[in-house]
Amino acid sequence: MTDNVKAIPVIAIDGPSASGKGTVAQAVAGSLGFHYLDSGALYRIVGLAVVRARGNLENESEVLSILLKINIKFQRDQVLLDGADVAETIRAEPISAAASKVGALAQVRAALLARQHEFRQAPGLVADGRDMGSVVFPDSVLKIYLTASAEARAERRYKQLIGKGFDANMAALLQEIKLRDQRDSERAAAPLQKYTDAFEVDTTRLTVAQSIASVLDYYHRVTVN
Ligand code: C5P
């Protein structure tokens, strides 16, 4: 491990939609006193901005020009798009699909790279997404591939949406999750993959507390020396 990597360590938590990455990553960050990057929120904000501008989500130059005009800011629990809090709005299902579409565009991913690197600040960072360990922070001290069955993920997403007062339909959610998995893993730009240097944590039968403990346990093991 080089001094630089040790100085500001990154824990990369990648995995498919609704695998619990956000919950686990935030708790791990809280427990270690690290910063937290929700990279999916960036793609969701771009998706929302394009939907609002009635742009074409699959047109790279159009999406890029919208992205270059918007102002994105994370402030405590708020996610600000041009000054307005969109933390809840970006969680709605149509925006999940929009995020997945703009995430397939290579130039959009490149434009968001520097913004993600800015989150690497002392004493450390827990970053959650699809390509944290592969593209954004390849020198992460720990890479986790957090996953769960599509059915378990659809059920969690269902409960999450209902809890937030959104409409939800289980069968439609399962179908959307499978479609998003396929789009995220088959795209050419930074596809979702389990890399050989990542530890897999399958949370299908784990509680949230067990999932968090498992990641912390891996972290303590890799940093023991
Ligand atoms: O993680 P979350 O479900 O919020 O991500 C929303 C979408 O953003 C994903 O389906 C994926 O297509 C895209 N994304 C991505 N790369 C990341 C994080 C999210 O392509 N690092």
CATH number reported for the structural domain that contains residue 39 in this entry:
3.40.50.300
Is residue 1 domain-resident? no
Is residue 147 over pLDDT 80?
yes
Q: Is the CB of 47 under 6 A from ligand 1?
A: no
pLDDT in tens, 122-146: 999 999 999 999 999 999 999 999 9
Is residue 224 assigned to a domain?
no
* 3 in any annotated domain: no
Q: Residue 33 — left, alpha, or beta (φ > 0 → left; ψ -120 to 50 → alpha)?
A: left
How far lies 153's CA from each of 37, 77, 99, 196, 207, in Å?
21, 24, 18, 23, 13
The DSSP call for residue 89 is G
Beta strands in the chain (DSSP E): 10-14, 35-38, 72-75, 78-81, 84-85, 125-129, 142-147, 199-202
- Ligand 1 mutation target, pool 130, 160, 180, most atoms within 8 A of CB: 130
Is 151 within a domain? yes
Q: What is the pLDDT confidence band of residue 188, given thresholds at 50, 70 and 90?
A: confident
* 166 falls within a domain: yes
Instruction: Express each pLDDT in 76-102 by its tens digit.
Output: 889 999 999 999 999 888 998 899 999
Mean pLDDT of 101-123: 95
User: Is 223 inside any structural domain?
Assistant: no
Assign 4 a pLDDT band (cuts: 50, 70, 90).
low
pLDDT band at residue 224 under the 50/70/90 scheme: confident
Residue 130 placed within a domain: yes
Please report where in the chains the tokens 């969680």 appear, as a residue. 91
Pocket test for ligand 1, best of 23, 43, 135 (most atoms within 8 A of CB): 43
Mean pLDDT computed over 139-163:
93
Band of residue 64 on the pLDDT scale cut at 50, 70, 90: very high
Inside any domain, residue 54: yes
Q: Which domain holds residue 77?
A: 8-218
With a cut of 80, say whether residue 6 has pLDDT above it.
Answer: no
pLDDT tops 80 at residue 73: yes
pLDDT at 155: 94
Number of domains in the chain: 1
